[in-house]
């Protein structure tokens, strides 16, 4: 019978963009507590970023721009790097990953952002609470929900020696969930038989962008155990059912989450550039000036010369505003307005030399 005592939580990936205006040697020492001499330098690129070099030690990598035109750099710690860091660095100083993160928030405050973090729960039970194959069968029957999403994907096939991974939510999601067979993964990695590795099922959330930073912030602020926070997030967001009516929750999933308290992360939606312009117009006085103008016109409070300066003015869009309007028209399916916006923008552009 599966037991909560055989569950363990850890971070399997931490990625942090640092905006610290200090030499790289100083950053390595202050952030990681490692002498910079331990790192070796080589050329290296990171997808979606312009870094061209990387320093590395024990799979811990820091990517940066060698031209020094940018002050930012990216610390990337994979599962392998974190295991090394926990054992060979933090452990020898009687510290934990939580201590490392607390130091970062206390010393550097707003000089960094966590761009990815993967908290995971390992199930070491001889008979686990569930397997990826069991969850796959439920997903194929559409008997699950993750927030508002019912997207799932499967990688690999469940055979005697090979494991599989079940994903919930698409790759672009900022909180993608995956269940996979670490026993099979480690057996392949170590070139041994699967039965030579203890049973091991991992449940992992891949937090990206703002949600990654907020998850860690909550982890430190709430003073919660990592396993309780991960379970709480899953309890609030993910449900599996044994029936098509979504009335009977999967008992194994309920038992796996235990008595954890539901926990969610809410990220305020950022306003578009167009809405920000509207905010400025309505809240910073411009609309009051416009109504004052209308009041003067309606009540004949402007002289003839003053009126001539304002009459017959066309509503024209500068290029930046036109671009925002085109995006908005496209989003709302009003593509018939695009040519009109372009025409009005052209008129405005043609008058820049008047």
Please give the pLDDT value at position 306: 72
Please give the pLDDT value at position 161: 58
Please give the pLDDT value at position 304: 73
Please answer whether residues 205 and 176 qualify as being in contact, where contact means their C-beta atoms are separated by less than 8 angstroms.
Answer: yes
Question: Assign residue 209 a region: left if phi > 0, alpha if psi is -120 to 50, beta otherwise?
Answer: left
How many Cα atoms are found within 13 Å in the side-chain-facing hemisphere of 63? Answer: 15
Please give the pLDDT value at position 280: 65
Contacts of 111 (CB under 8 A, 6+ apart): 18, 19, 20
Please give the pLDDT value at position 160: 52
d(CA 232, CA 211): 15
Across the chain, the runs of DSSP E, i.e. the strands, are 7-18, 40-43, 53-57, 60-64, 73-77, 112-123, 144-146, 152-155, 165-168, 175-181, 201-208, 238-240
* Consecutive 10-residue averages of pLDDT for the chain (354 residues): 91 96 93 95 90 94 87 94 96 96 92 96 95 94 95 78 86 95 77 78 96 95 91 97 95 96 83 67 67 76 71 63 80 82 64 42
pTM to 2 decimal places: 0.75
Please give the pLDDT value at position 353: 43
Please give the pLDDT value at position 351: 40
Please answer whether residues 2 and 108 qualify as being in contact, where contact means their C-beta atoms are separated by less than 8 angstroms.
Answer: no
d(CA 113, CA 115): 6
Please give the pLDDT value at position 281: 66
Contacts of 74 (CB under 8 A, 6+ apart): 15, 16, 17, 18, 46, 49, 51, 62, 63, 64, 115
* Residue 236, φ and ψ in degrees, nearest 5: -80, -25
- Give whole-number Cα distances, 76 to 61, 119, 218, 256, 315, in Å: 5, 15, 21, 30, 50
């Amino acid at each position: 019978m599966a037991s909560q005592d055989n569950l363990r939580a850890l971070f399997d990936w931490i990625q942090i963009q640092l905006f610290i205006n200090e030499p790289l040697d100083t950053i390595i020492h202050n952030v990681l507590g490692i002498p910079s001499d331990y790192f070796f330098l080589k050329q290296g690129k990171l997808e979606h970023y312009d870094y061209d070099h990387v320093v590395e030690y024990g799979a811990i990598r820091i990517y940066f721009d060698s031209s020094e035109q940018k002050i930012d750099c990216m610390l990337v710690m994979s599962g392998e790097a974190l295991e090394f860091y926990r054992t060979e660095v933090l452990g020898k100083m009687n510290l934990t990953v939580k201590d490392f993160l607390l130091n970062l928030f206390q010393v550097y405050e707003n000089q960094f952002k966590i761009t990815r973090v993967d908290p995971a729960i390992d199930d070491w039970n001889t008979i686990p609470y569930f397997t990826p194959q069991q969850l796959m069968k439920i997903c194929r029957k559409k008997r699950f929900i993750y927030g508002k999403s019912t997207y799932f994907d499967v990688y690999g096939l469940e055979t005697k020696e090979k494991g599989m991974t079940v994903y919930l939510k698409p790759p672009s999601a900022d909180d993608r969930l995956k269940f996979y067979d670490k026993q099979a993964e480690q057996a392949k990695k170590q070139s041994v038989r699967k039965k030579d590795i203890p049973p091991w099922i991992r449940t992992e959330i891949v937090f990206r962008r703002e949600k990654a930073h907020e998850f860690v912030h909550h982890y430190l602020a709430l003073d919660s155990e990592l396993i309780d926070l991960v379970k709480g997030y899953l309890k609030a967001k993910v449900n599996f059912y044994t029936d098509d009516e979504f009335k009977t929750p999967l008992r194994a999933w309920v038992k796996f989450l235990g008595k954890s308290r539901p926990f969610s992360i809410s990220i305020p939606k950022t306003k578009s550039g167009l809405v920000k312009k509207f905010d400025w117009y309505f809240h910073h006085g411009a609309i009051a000036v416009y109504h004052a103008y209308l009041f003067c016109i309606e009540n004949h409070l402007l002289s003839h010369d003053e009126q001539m300066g304002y009459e017959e003015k066309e509503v024209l869009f500068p290029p930046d505003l036109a671009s925002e309007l085109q995006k908005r028209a496209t989003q709302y399916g009003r593509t018939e307005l695009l040519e009109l916006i372009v025409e009005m923008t052209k008129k405005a552009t043609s008058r820049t030399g008047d």
